[in-house]
Amino acid sequence: MLRRGGLRFLHRKLGFFGLIGSTLVFIFYTLTILPPIDVKIRRKVIPIEPILNLSQSDFIGNSDQLPAFEEHYFNLTASNFLSSGRAIPDTRPPRCRTKEYVLNAKKNVSVIVAFHNEAKSALLRTISSVINRTPPDLLHEIILIDDFSRNELNANILVNIPKTKLYRNAEREGLIRSRKIGALKASAEYIVFLDSHCEVNVGWIEPLIDRLSYNPGALYKATSTNLKAGFDWSLRFKWIPRSDEELQTNHDETSSFASPTVYGGIFLISRMWFHQLGGFSSDLEIWGGESLEISLKAWMCGGQVEIAPCSRVGHVFRKKHPYDFPHGSTHTFLRNSKLIAENWLEEYKHFFYFARPNAQGIKIKGNTDVGILKEKLQCRTFSWYLQTVFHEL
């Protein structure tokens, strides 16, 4: 009897330790092998008290010695007069102010700002607006890429701004490659590209993250207008009014809407998806065409492009580039446009050459990487893009 009782006790003891062991194995498997569970939360835009209002005098220097317009092609005197942490009007549609957004508790953003000889006050105001109007739990870092500027910046001020990292190119790379460098240095789940002369508005990031939580393969654009972005056969940007059918289908002023392209360089995208698309082409020089190229990649290779009307970002538009192009701005933009036409327009590229006959004489190298990318991602044709996305062209 004692022997049988001892065996039963031993079996129970072994079963108890076996249960503990299997539980520990399950916990280890869950923590180390299974992918983390995305925890999504719903919340409205949280009011944020400004935490950054730097004195600009040490950063800018003596403004009396600076040209008012010629160097940057905007009113530098007025820019230097404005506070870096100034209050700006809330320009969102009224219903955006009470809308709840779905956010992922574990995913935040890296904001990438590339600049070359930028006005110091404009750059500082861009950074301050991001710090002051982005919830701390959603902002992972601000990555500044100084593209070999000649106007020396006070790096000590920039690197001491919370969550801000500054990198300087050893030589001039151009805006396009500088942004790609910034994306390679980013470590957040999402990346946002901003120009260096912007101001983000209240609640600018939540609508973008909300849409990306539903569709991680999309590219979402902040806006200052409710028009779509497109292009003509010369591959120059143009605004496109939304059709009556589109407005009737999507009449909610807070809802995002599809756009053939993004305009400017202000958009949010999954970092992983950006790299899967190949990022911005390294063959593109300095500035011009990169927004069109990434838009075509997104649409044709399994994603889409949307504009979020609740995400408002102000941008200084200039009639002329304040920096130089090694081969001239006209030649550089035409060369970049030809690369895009050859890589993505397929049998429709003859329309581009009809609109830009001077492009025929520009020599470019063939790029086998584009063909590999199209095969890998099973990209659709440009004909599909015209029929499905941009039938107005």
CA dihedral 49, 54, 60, 66 (to 10 degrees): 50
Percent of the residues in the chain that have a pLDDT greater than 70, as a whole number: 79
User: Percent helix, strand, coil in the chain (nearest 5)?
Assistant: 40, 20, 40
pLDDT tops 80 at residue 20: no
Helix (H) / strand (E) element for 58: namely helix 57-60
Measured in degrees and rounded to the nearest 5, phi and psi for residue 107 equal: -125, 130
The predicted pLDDT at position 71 comes to 65
Mean pLDDT of 50-78: 60
Measured in degrees and rounded to the nearest 5, phi and psi for residue 285 equal: -105, 140
3-class DSSP state of 30:
helix
pLDDT tops 60 at residue 58: no
What is the residue type of 185? K
Q: In the structure, what pLDDT confidence band is assigned to residue 30 with cuts at 50, 70 and 90? A: very low
Calculate the CA 70 to chain-centre distance. 29
Q: Where are the domains of the chain?
A: 67-389
The predicted pLDDT at position 11 comes to 53
Q: In angstroms, what CA-CA distances link 31 with 35, 78, 187, 188, 317?
A: 8, 55, 21, 21, 49
Query: Which of 79-83, 257-261, 286-290 is the most confident on average?
Result: 257-261
Measured N-to-C along each axis, helices 175-185 and 290-300 cross at an angle, to the nearest 10 degrees, of 50
The predicted pLDDT at position 120 comes to 86
Mean pLDDT of 225-252: 87
Per CATH, domain 67-389 is 3.90.550.10 = yes
The predicted pLDDT at position 160 comes to 85
Higher local confidence (pLDDT), 388 or 55: 388
Using the 8-state DSSP alphabet, how is residue 133 labeled?
Answer: H
**How many Å apart are CA 174 and CA 23, to the nearest integer?**
55
Digit-coded pLDDT (tens) for 281-340 = 988 887 778 999 999 999 999 999 999 999 999 867 666 665 566 665 778 889 999 999
For the record, the structure tokens of 241 come out as 């009014």
The predicted pLDDT at position 307 comes to 93
pLDDT tops 60 at residue 13: no
Give the Cβ contact number of residue 99 at 10 Å.
18
The predicted pLDDT at position 28 comes to 52
Angle at 269 between CA 268 and CA 271, to 5 degrees: 130
For the record, the structure tokens of 113 come out as 């700002």
Residues 6+ apart with CB under 8 A from 285: 174, 176, 325, 327, 332, 335, 336
Percent of the residues in the chain that have a pLDDT greater than 90, as a whole number: 50
Following DSSP, what letter does each residue of 178-196 receive, concatenated? HHHHHHHH--SSEEEEE-S
3-class DSSP state of 218:
strand
Digit-coded pLDDT (tens) for 162-217 = 999 999 999 989 889 999 999 999 999 999 999 988 999 999 999 999 999 888 88
The predicted pLDDT at position 66 comes to 52
pLDDT tops 50 at residue 225: yes
pLDDT tops 80 at residue 50: no
The predicted pLDDT at position 31 comes to 45
Strands 164-168 and 139-146, bridge-based pairing: parallel
Tokens 């590229």 belong to residue? 349
What is the residue type of 91? T
The predicted pLDDT at position 380 comes to 97
Contact 211, 308 (CB under 8 A): yes
Mean pLDDT of 355-376: 89
pLDDT tops 70 at residue 25: no
Residues 6+ apart with CB under 8 A from 116: 146, 147, 148, 149, 172, 175, 178, 323
pLDDT tops 70 at residue 10: no
Closest alpha carbon to 337 in 373, 283, 297: 283
Digit-coded pLDDT (tens) for 83-93 = 788 889 999 99
Give the Cβ contact number of residue 288 at 10 Å.
25
What integer best gives the mean pLDDT of the chain?
A: 83
Helix (H) / strand (E) element for 110: namely strand 109-115
**How many Å apart are CA 307 and CA 390, to the nearest integer?**
15
Helix (H) / strand (E) element for 232: namely none
**Burial 245-255, CB ≥16 within 10 A → b, else e:** eeeeeeeeebb
* Model confidence, pTM: 0.84
Residues 6+ apart with CB under 8 A from 218: 211, 212, 269, 298, 303, 304, 305, 306
